[in-house]
A and B are shown apart, each in its own frame.
Chain A
Amino acid sequence: QKEVEQNSGPLSVPEGAIASLNCTYSDRGSQSFFWYRQYSGKSPELIMSIYSNGDKEDGRFTAQLNKASQYVSLLIRDSQPSDSATYLCAVISSSGSARQLTFGSGTQLTVLP
């Protein structure tokens, strides 16, 4: 069983729409959750971190965490073509050493003009 799972997509949304990205994780003791954006040929860049149940908003991005359901999501409002990228969910597992990140397989998002 994969430790972090994401819908691989691809996901296509029209410009201006809300993009919804989902992630589940297997380690119930995980405490730290991250969303990274990766453009083709580039390294990942952190866009959101969340540690507590509920919503966390930053500009057009909202991360949602539900530890009981072991579920974390990312909403992108007013999606722009520049949001087209692969979005990686990452978790710091309680069982991992040195606080290493465990990544999901990524969801490829395309925002259509």
Chain B
Amino acid sequence: GAVVSQHPSRVICKSGTSVKIECRSLDFQATTMFWYRQFPKQSLMLMATSNEGSKATYEQGVEKDKFLINHASLTLSTLTVTSAHPEDSSFYICSAQMGVFHTFGSGTRLTVV
């Protein structure tokens, strides 16, 4: 079955630094990947839709200059949280689309101290 690898699984960073999260589709090509954020006891909130070779589409209220998304190939999308602050601490999850199915990465727990 389709597998999506997401790294790192857990990261702690200092306030003001940047963190890059990678999302790879291992055995299929994903023209579209999605990035979500999930706060404790809440559902997944879509942050942006990432299309290979084009600019990401951000959801309302998501700062594109803070959450940089790059989808340089059909198997890799990256999310960079720039100038991280404690309120950015969350569980970030990517998914890759193949047809109507969305395969999720294992998630990245970001803690900003």
* A interface, CB within 8 angstroms of B: 32, 34, 41-46, 49, 88, 92, 97-101, 103-106
Within 8 A of A (CB), among B1-39: 6, 32, 34
A103 → B minimal CB distance (Å):
5
Q: B91: which A residues are within 8 A, CB to CB?
A: 41
Partner of A43, one of B32, B46, B49, B93: B93
Looking at chain B's contact residues, the main secondary structure is: strand
Q: Establish whether residues A101 and B43, one from each chain, have CB atoms under 8 Å apart when the complex forms.
A: no
Q: Which residue of B lies closest to A32 (CB)?
A: B100
Task: Please encode chain B, from 81 to 113, with 1 for each CB lying within 8 Å of some chain A CB and 0 for all others.
Answer: 000000000010101010011111111010000
Q: What class of interface size applies to chain B in its complex with A?
A: 20 to 34
Q: Which of A34, A43, A98, A100 contacts B107 (CB 8 A)?
A: A43
25 contacts between A and B (CB under 8 A): A42-B107, A43-B6, A43-B104, A43-B105, A43-B106, A43-B107, A44-B93, A44-B104, A45-B104, A49-B101, A88-B43, A97-B57, A98-B49, A98-B51, A98-B57, A99-B32, A99-B97, A99-B100, A100-B34, A100-B49, A101-B102, A103-B43, A104-B43, A105-B43, A106-B43
